[in-house]
Each structure stands twice: as C-alpha cells, then as structure tokens.
Chain A
Amino acid sequence: MIAKLISNMHFLTAMVLFLIGFHTMLTHSNLIKKVMGMNIMETGIFLFFISVGYVRGGSSPIAVPGAEGYINPLPSALILTGIVVSVSLTAFALALIVKLYNYYGTVDADKIMQLRGGEE
C-alpha cells in the first residue's frame, strides 16, 4: 500500500495541490490570495496531466539514435497551452485587482462588500 502510494506520489501531490488551491480560492477573502489559489490549483492540474504522459526511464520525445522509450509529448504540449491560459487568466485577474484597489483602496473582498453596503 505504502509502496504503491510512493510510486504514485506525483498523482497524490497533484490532488493535494489541487485541493489546496481550490480551498484557498474559495475561502480567502483577500483577492490576491484568491489569484494565488487559482495558480496553485492549476499547477496541481498541470502536474497531474504531465504525470499521465510520463514514462519511467523514457527520454525526451526527440528522435535521437539510441533512445529506448519516449515520454508521451502530447500532455506536455497540451499543458503548454494550459499554462498560456493560466497566465492570461492571472494577468487579467491582476489587472482587475489593480482597478478594484483604485476604486476601494483595499484588496479584501469582505471590506469591499462593507464599503459597498450603503451604495446600492
């Protein structure tokens, strides 16, 4: 059981990262922390995806003489796209936070709700 867990460590780590990110994103009221949670969650998913394509002892997927097995390149290629998506989401979220900070002077969601209270 333990040996099995250790040999599948990357999947376990990926899930733990995903849950940490998910939890951070939903429970923290600081907007920057929410964005950090988003990134941690996505890192977890990327790790998971890359692990799916990993072949133990395989070499990188370039045709060179003498290579035994290759690592599946498809998940890596997909995750590159995933990283691009995550970068753009992060950039956009940060830009929105800068704007919110300019409007309210705080990056705390609870305080923003309080400030907004009388407005509507």
Chain B
Amino acid sequence: MQSVVLQTVIKLLLPFIQVYGLYIIFHGHISPGGGFAGGAVMAASFVLFAMSYGVGEGFKRLPRLIAQWLESLGGLIYIALGLTGILRGAAFLTNVPEWLGQAGQLFSAGLIPLLTTAIGLKVCSTIVTLLYHLLEEGHYDSQTD
C-alpha cells in the first residue's frame, strides 16, 4: 500500500509525533505520561513510517539490530539504576535524596527521569521490533515439521 498522500502526510507528521513522544518521556515525573506512554508514541512514529513506506524503508531508518540492542539496553539500564540503590547502602531502586530537587522542575525527582527514559527506550524498541516481526512474517518461509 504505497500512496503519495499517505507518505507526504506521514513525512510531515513524523517530527511532531517524535517530539511529542520525547516530551512525554522526559516529563514523566512531573506530568501524566512517562516511559510507557511516551515510548508507545515514539514507536507509533516508526510504525507509521514502516507501514506507509514499506518495511524495507523502515529497516533503513531503525534497523532491527539497533532496535534489539536498545530493547535489551533499556532493561539493563533500569536494573543498573536499581542496583545503584544497593551500592549506596539503601534498598533496591532507592532514589537519590540529594537529586530530588524542587517538585515541578524538569531536573528533579532524582532517578525517576532516568528510569522513565530507560523504560521509554525499552517500550519504543519493543513495539517496533514486534511490529517488524509481524509485518515481515509474510516474507518468511513457514518452517514445517
């Protein structure tokens, strides 16, 4: 399904969708939203692109290899941030009290913005990988017994 109208509209919309997604991710600690919502919006941009321009073009913009790396790294960063709590002698995932800052500021809430970023990475790359797999499935030869 390659349509000029669709492709042009998507091209115009893409930056806005992505900036919106990033906004939701980075403001996760002071407004509704966060890693999952923002990551899903980000992923929507890649998915829209892959669906309107074809999966092949999508692979060029966000290759599967990178998506898979991001997926694993997102989770690993989360765990590593959790472990910093233990390293500082407190419980797993404990926030850093010195970094709490003032409520409502962008740079506040200690580890939470970092955690939402990690979640955003993970969610975005997971959804993209999922869609790549589902879109691409038609090209696979089905393995039979």
Asked if the two chains touch in their complex, CB atoms less than 8 Å apart, one says yes
Taking chain B's interface residues, is the majority helix, strand, or loop, or is none over half, making it mixed?
loop
Interchain nearest-CB distance for A61 vs B (Å)? 8
Q: How many A-B residue pairs have CB under 8 A?
A: 25
The answer to the question of A102 belonging to the interface, with a C-beta cut-off of 8 Å to chain B, is yes
* Contact A103 to B36, CB < 8 A, known contacts A62-B31, A95-B133, A95-B134: no
Interchain nearest-CB distance for A72 vs B (Å)? 14
CB-based contact A80/B36 at 8 Å? yes
Bound complex: CA A60 to CA B33 (Å): 12
The answer to the question of B114 belonging to the interface, with a C-beta cut-off of 8 Å to chain A, is no
Residues of chain B lying within 8 A (CB to CB) of residue A98: 134, 137
Taking chain A's interface residues, is the majority helix, strand, or loop, or is none over half, making it mixed?
helix
Bound complex: CA A84 to CA B34 (Å): 13
Give the nearest-CB partner of A98 in chain B.
B137
> How big is the A interface, by class?
10 to 19
Question: Among the interface residues A63, A83, A102, which one has the most CB atoms of the partner chain B within 10 A?
Answer: A102
Residues of chain A lying within 8 A (CB to CB) of residue B37: 80
The answer to the question of B142 belonging to the interface, with a C-beta cut-off of 8 Å to chain A, is yes
The answer to the question of A9 belonging to the interface, with a C-beta cut-off of 8 Å to chain B, is no
The answer to the question of A91 belonging to the interface, with a C-beta cut-off of 8 Å to chain B, is yes
Bound complex: CA A62 to CA B36 (Å): 18
Residues of chain A lying within 8 A (CB to CB) of residue B36: 80, 83-84
CB-based contact B104/A91 at 8 Å? no
Which residues of B are interface residues toward A (Cβ below 8 A)? Answer: 30-32, 34, 36-37, 103-104, 130, 133-134, 137, 140, 142, 144
Can you name 8 extra interface pairs (CB under 8 A) apart from A62-B30, A63-B104, A91-B130? Answer: A80-B36, A84-B36, A94-B134, A95-B133, A95-B137, A99-B142, A102-B137, A103-B144
Please name 16 pairs of A and B residues whose Cβ atoms are closer than 8 Å in the assembled complex, sorted by A.
A62-B30, A62-B32, A63-B103, A80-B34, A80-B36, A80-B37, A91-B130, A94-B134, A95-B133, A95-B137, A98-B134, A99-B142, A102-B140, A102-B142, A103-B142, A103-B144
